[in-house]
Amino acid sequence: MKLELLQQERSTKGLLDVEGLSEALNIPVSSIYKLTHLKQIPHVKIGKTVRFRESEVSAWLDSKTITPAGQPEPEIQTKARKAKVRKSGRDTKAIRMLDELIAELPPK
């Protein structure tokens, strides 16, 4: 994966810099800074510098995946959503009930 190669080249203890992430995602550096400013992408601030953990960026990208209508949700998205809910302390019983309701919906 391109992200892994750039991580090896431009990382410090598992962290990507803004330029490395920009190259990996093929988006402008200014977009990376905008996402961090709006707190829409997981990042670490060390003084005035911004760094990104590859694992957190990968999970963030998985959460941004859009599933076409009529197709089941990818397993990785489901696991990431459930882990996020558990971490936030929300009721997992409600999540299970929602997952069961979604599974019962007829395909479009």
27-72 per-position pLDDT tens digit: 999 999 999 999 999 999 989 899 999 889 988 888 888 777 766 6
Residue 6 exposed, middle or buried by CB count within 10 Å (0-12, 13-18, 19+): buried
Q: pTM here?
A: 0.53
Q: What is the mean pLDDT of the chain?
A: 75
pLDDT of residue 88: 53
Residue 11 binned pLDDT confidence (cut-offs 50, 70, 90): very low
> What domains lie within the chain, and their CATH numbers?
2-61 (1.10.10), 67-104 (no CATH)
90 φ, ψ (degrees, to nearest 5): -75, 165
Biggest CA-to-CA distance, the chain: 51
Nearest Cα to 2, choosing from 18, 17, 23, 32? 23
